């Protein structure tokens, strides 16, 4: 079967599934109009004297139902159509910030014979997809605002390369949407001062080419005539947004990125098909409406669930937001005493009515979703199959090689987030160059796993991040978004990012500052927590007066005192972490650790602090393992610490301490 035949078969299968979904919508409309048809028949029969008895008695109730059903259906349809799906936070990339990237996507769409995506955005994850525009606001005012916006865009001067960046109404990937990561791209990509510009042999030629493009665009700008204004203002709404995983841009070469994006860009053909687009809008609205009962009940005086108001990532008081001058991210997750949970809000009559209405609307939406059955899923599978068939004609051989880099990028990104970024987020710091770090991590992984055959030749090719005008600024925005999305409960980043901007006290950290500001502080916090737990277990009235407080010798002696000591201390550490970790936030990147694992981490931190303070060791950063101890001799103490915790045998640890020159009886500096 040829590529064209396979593409046509996939498109036909997708359209048939879309029509099946639309038939459910039509059937629902028929059910609403059924009482009206029955009322017309009864009234007509009564007029000619053919209806009497029981049917005559049911005439007026049926008429009332015929009037009430469309009104109720219109209200439900309005609520469903205005339900807001879950916002996908991305970093918008305006056209002026990445003209080469937009040109690559446009050329790719032209080769595939599909519509060009309306805009490009980045996500701090190893994935790429097409993000459909959000629900369009309804009403006369909204229509006038949309028409005015289109006329303004039509009047905007254009150069030979087309119009500027195209904002997507209702999407958080829109470059001009307040509360997104950058307003119009200015907050994200700076003022063009050159900071974060690409480095390397092609930097000067790249800057000269960019300046030439800007000069040509300024010289060729013109004011369109009124016929073009009308045509552009009344054009169809913008298409989907191409969302690209930011690790791909930094790790892949330009050809590899084009091969990976080919099947994704090919999916715009389905978005342009009217039946598939209508079915997607219908299912997306039902999904959003089905989640309405789980929404928190709104305030009586505040805005409704679909009215304008502070969004979940805009400025405003949250349940775990701190007062001015308070520690970042709420109370210390390891401080003594449980944190008070916010009590249930008291609902007024209007709030109770709104909750009942949400439940009713959500029930109708779930009923319609069940009626759709497997058709939406099969439609998307057919769309993906058609896109894959269409993309085979573009860089098919290179895409096979690029898929290997996708798996490698995923492994390095996951390792970087869990081993390197997560400790920094919990310390109230966010690494500001995560994507540059993933390149270092993958380079180290390739070296360790002996995957570097032809590695130097590949790195000599043009990286995909060179398609951006200011990759440093984009990396910073993506790193901040990663801190918001992946910090997880218990991290200091919970509530520390508002409206795409870091809160006071949640500071960025460079890779050069990481060992001192993150690694050393992490070790000393864990060492202080371990001694606080020992003070509580020993019931010390004045722990500060103990001569052995803050020493490694106290910890080792306690672990070797009895067979149950490790379990007691580990259980106490786990209890402190569980009782005092703040709720909310994203799902954790790593599963919860057991008491023994927490004890190993805390004892290892204590050993590292003693090595730094008494033996001249230094904190360091390993791109794959995270925080490490740099010593002149002795190697890593991790294995010796694990043996001590699991077997109560301190021989191996004491041998390491002697070899490294660490004095266990000396107190260390605790935070």
Residues 161-170 have pLDDT tens digits of 343 333 333 3
Query: Mean pLDDT across the stretch 446-474?
Result: 78
pLDDT at 500: 55
Check whether 137 has a pLDDT greater than 70: no
For residue 497, name the pLDDT band (cuts at 50, 70, 90). low
Closest CA to 70 of 42, 27, 29: 29
For residue 258, name the pLDDT band (cuts at 50, 70, 90). very high
Select the more confidently predicted residue: 585 or 460. 460
Residues 6+ apart with CB under 8 A from 642: 600
- The continuous run of DSSP H or E covering 619 comes out as strand 618-622
Closest CA to 72 of 31, 21, 38, 26: 31
pLDDT at 151: 59
Cα separation, 213 vs 219, in Å, equals 10
For residue 69 the two structure tokens come to 């059903």
For residue 54, name the pLDDT band (cuts at 50, 70, 90). confident
pLDDT at 486: 84
Collapse the DSSP code of 142 into the 3-class scheme (helix H, G, I; strand E, B; otherwise coil) and give the result: helix
pLDDT at 159: 42
pTM: 0.74
Out of 44-58, 301-315, 325-339, 530-544, which region has the weakest mean confidence (pLDDT)?
A: 301-315
pLDDT at 233: 45
For residue 450, name the pLDDT band (cuts at 50, 70, 90). low
For residue 583, name the pLDDT band (cuts at 50, 70, 90). low
pLDDT at 89: 87
Select the more confidently predicted residue: 343 or 537. 537
Check whether 568 has a pLDDT greater than 80: yes
Cα separation, 231 vs 185, in Å, equals 27
Q: If you average pLDDT over every residue of the chain, what do you get?
A: 76
Q: Measured in Å, how far apart are the chain's first and last C-alpha atoms?
A: 68
Number of separate helices (H) and strands (E) present in the chain: 26, 10
For residue 345, name the pLDDT band (cuts at 50, 70, 90). low
pLDDT at 307: 32
For residue 327, name the pLDDT band (cuts at 50, 70, 90). very low
pLDDT at 588: 63
For residue 443, name the pLDDT band (cuts at 50, 70, 90). confident
Residues 6+ apart with CB under 8 A from 202: 462, 466
Query: Mean pLDDT across the stretch 563-571?
Result: 90
pLDDT at 2: 53
Select the more confidently predicted residue: 225 or 255. 255
For residue 632, name the pLDDT band (cuts at 50, 70, 90). confident
pLDDT at 311: 32
pLDDT at 141: 53
Query: Mean pLDDT across the stretch 326-341?
Result: 41
Residue 38, burial from CB neighbour count under 10 angstroms (0-12, 13-18, 19+): middle
Check whether 184 has a pLDDT greater than 50: no
Select the more confidently predicted residue: 505 or 245. 245
Cα separation, 3 vs 282, in Å, equals 30
Out of 191-195, 424-428, 576-580, 626-630, which region has the weakest mean confidence (pLDDT)?
A: 191-195
pLDDT at 143: 54
For residue 224, name the pLDDT band (cuts at 50, 70, 90). very low
Check whether 245 has a pLDDT greater than 50: yes
Query: Mean pLDDT across the stretch 415-442?
Result: 91
pLDDT at 363: 93
- The continuous run of DSSP H or E covering 276 comes out as helix 274-290
Place of tokens 């006329």: 151
Closest CA to 496 of 411, 428, 584: 428
pLDDT at 222: 37
Check whether 602 has a pLDDT greater than 60: yes
pLDDT at 241: 93
């Amino acid at each position: 079967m040829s590529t064209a035949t396979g593409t046509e078969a996939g498109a036909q299968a997708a359209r048939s599934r879309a029509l099946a979904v639309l038939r459910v919508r039509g059937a629902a409309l028929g059910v609403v109009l059924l009482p009206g048809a029955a009322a017309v028949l009864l009234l007509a029969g009564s007029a000619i004297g053919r209806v009497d008895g029981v049917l005559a008695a049911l005439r007026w109730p049926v008429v009332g139902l015929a009037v009430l059903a469309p009104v109720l259906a219109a209200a439900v349809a309005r609520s469903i159509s205005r339900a807001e799906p879950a916002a996908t936070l991305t970093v918008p990339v305006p056209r002026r910030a990445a003209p080469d990237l937009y040109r690559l996507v446009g050329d790719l769409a032209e080769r595939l014979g599909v519509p060009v995506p309306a805009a490009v955005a980045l996500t701090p994850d190893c994935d790429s997809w097409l993000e459909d525009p959000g629900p369009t606001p309804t009403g006369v005012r909204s229509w006038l605002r949309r028409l005015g916006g289109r006329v303004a865009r039509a009047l905007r001067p254009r150069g030979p390369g087309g119009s500027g960046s195209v904002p997507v109404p209702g999407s958080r990937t829109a470059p001009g949407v307040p509360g997104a990561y950058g307003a119009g791209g200015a907050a994200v990509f700076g003022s063009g001062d050159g900071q974060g510009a690409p480095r390397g042999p092609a930097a000067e030629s790249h800057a000269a080419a960019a300046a030439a493009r800007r000069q040509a665009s300024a010289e060729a700008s013109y004011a369109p005539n009124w016929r073009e204004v009308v045509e552009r203002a009344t054009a169809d709404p913008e298409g989907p947004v191409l969302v690209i995983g930011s690790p791909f841009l930094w790790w892949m070469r330009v050809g590899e990125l084009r091969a990976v994006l080919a099947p994704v860009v090919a999916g715009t053909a389905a978005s342009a098909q009217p039946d598939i687009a209508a079915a997607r809008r219908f299912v997306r609205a039902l999904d959003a409406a089905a989640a309405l009962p789980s929404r928190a009940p709104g305030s009586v005086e505040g805005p409704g669930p679909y009215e304008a108001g502070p969004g979940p990532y805009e400025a405003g008081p949250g349940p775990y937001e701190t007062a001015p001058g308070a520690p970042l991210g709420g109370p210390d997750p390891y401080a003594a005493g449980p944190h008070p949970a916010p009590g249930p809000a008291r609902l007024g009559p209007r709030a109770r009515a709104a909750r009942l209405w949400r439940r009713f609307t959500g029930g109708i939406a779930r009923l319609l979703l069940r009626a759709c059955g497997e058709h939406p899923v099969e439609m998307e599978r057919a769309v993906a199959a058609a896109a894959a068939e269409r993309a085979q004609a573009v860089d098919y051989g290179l895409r096979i090689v690029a898929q290997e880099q996708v798996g490698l990028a995923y492994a390095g990104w996951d390792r970087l987030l869990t081993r390197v970024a997560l400790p920094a987020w919990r310390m109230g710091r966010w690494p500001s160059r995560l994507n540059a770090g993933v390149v270092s991590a993958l380079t180290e992984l390739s070296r360790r796993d002996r995957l570097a055959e032809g590695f130097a030749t590949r790195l000599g090719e043009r990286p995909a991040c060179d398609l951006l005008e200011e990759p440093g600024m984009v990396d910073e925005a993506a790193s901040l978004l990663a801190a918001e999305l992946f910090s997880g409960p218990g991290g200091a980043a919970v509530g520390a990012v508002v409206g795409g901007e870091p809160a006071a006290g949640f500071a960025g950290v460079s890779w050069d500052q990481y060992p001192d500001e993150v690694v050393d502080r992490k070790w000393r916090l864990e060492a202080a927590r371990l001694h606080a737990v020992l003070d509580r277990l020993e019931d010390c009235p004045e722990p500060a007066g103990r001569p052995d407080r803050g020493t490694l010798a106290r910890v080792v002696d306690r672990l070797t005192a009895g067979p149950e000591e490790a379990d007691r201390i580990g259980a106490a550490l786990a209890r402190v972490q569980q009782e005092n970790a703040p709720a909310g936030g994203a799902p954790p990147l790593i599963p919860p650790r057991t008491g023994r694992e927490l004890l190993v981490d805390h004892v290892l931190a204590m050993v590292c602090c003693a090595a730094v303070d008494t033996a001249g060791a230094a904190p360091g950063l390993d791109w794959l393992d995270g925080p490490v101890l740099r010593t002149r001799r002795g190697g890593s103490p991790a294995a010796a610490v694990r043996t001590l915790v699991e077997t109560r045998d301190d021989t191996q640890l004491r041998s390491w301490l002697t070899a490294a020159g660490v004095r266990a009886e000396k107190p260390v500096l605790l935070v």
